[in-house]
Amino acid sequence: MIFQEPVLLRWKDVTRNVLFPIEILRQDTRKYQEKAHEILDLVGLKGFEHRHPAELSGGMQQRVAMARALVHDPRLLLMDEPFGALDQLTRQQMNLELLRIWMETNKTTVLVTHDIEEAVFLADKVVVMTPRPGRVADEVDIELPRPRELNMKMSSEFGELVMRVGELIGLDYGR
C-alpha cells in the first residue's frame, strides 16, 4: 500500500525504511538487502540508500514508499492518491516513473485519484465512483497504446476519454 503521504520513519535511513515491511513480517532483513537495493535502483534512488527522509524531496520520499511497497513482491499494489501532495511537475514525473515501473514489474495496480487526466493517462480501466455513498457509477476502458508518453495528453483520443470520465462524475463540458 502506498499512501497519500510517504509515511516514512524519520529515524531510519532509506534502506531501513524500505525493509520495514520485512521486519513487520518477521522475516530476515539480511536476506532482502540485495532486493531492497535492486528496487531502490528501479525507482531511481541508487546512491541514496543511507540518506534519511528529511534529506529527500517529496518525490524522492514517494519513491521510497513505492520501493517499500514492492520489496516483498506483492501480487497487488494499492495506491491511495500517492502523488496528490506533489507539485505538478513532480507529479507528472512520478506518473511516468510509475508507468516505467509497471512495465518492468507488471504488478496489478489499483490507483485512487481525483485527477481525471492522471487516471486516464495511467489506467487500462477507470472505475468512476459516485459521491456519498460511494458506488461504482461506470467503468471506462482506456484503449490508448503503450508505452505512454506525455505528448499523448495532446491527442483527441485522450481528450475524449477525459471528457467521458468527467461527464460521468457530473462535469459539464458544454458539448
For range 120-136, the mean pLDDT: 93
Looking at residue 76, its amino acid is: L
Instruction: Dump pLDDT digits (tens) for 102-125.
Output: 898 889 999 999 999 999 999 999
Orientation of helix 33-42 relative to helix 58-70, angle to 10°: 130
For the cut 90, the answer to whether the pLDDT of residue 22 exceeds it is: yes
For range 82-96, the mean pLDDT: 86
Instruction: Dump pLDDT digits (tens) for 52-69.
Output: 999 999 889 999 999 999
What is the reported pLDDT for 173?
80
Going by C-alpha positions, the residue among 97, 27, 88 that lies closest to residue 62 is 97
Residue 54 or residue 172, greater confidence: 54
For the cut 80, the answer to whether the pLDDT of residue 175 exceeds it is: no
pTM of the model: 0.86
For the cut 90, the answer to whether the pLDDT of residue 132 exceeds it is: no
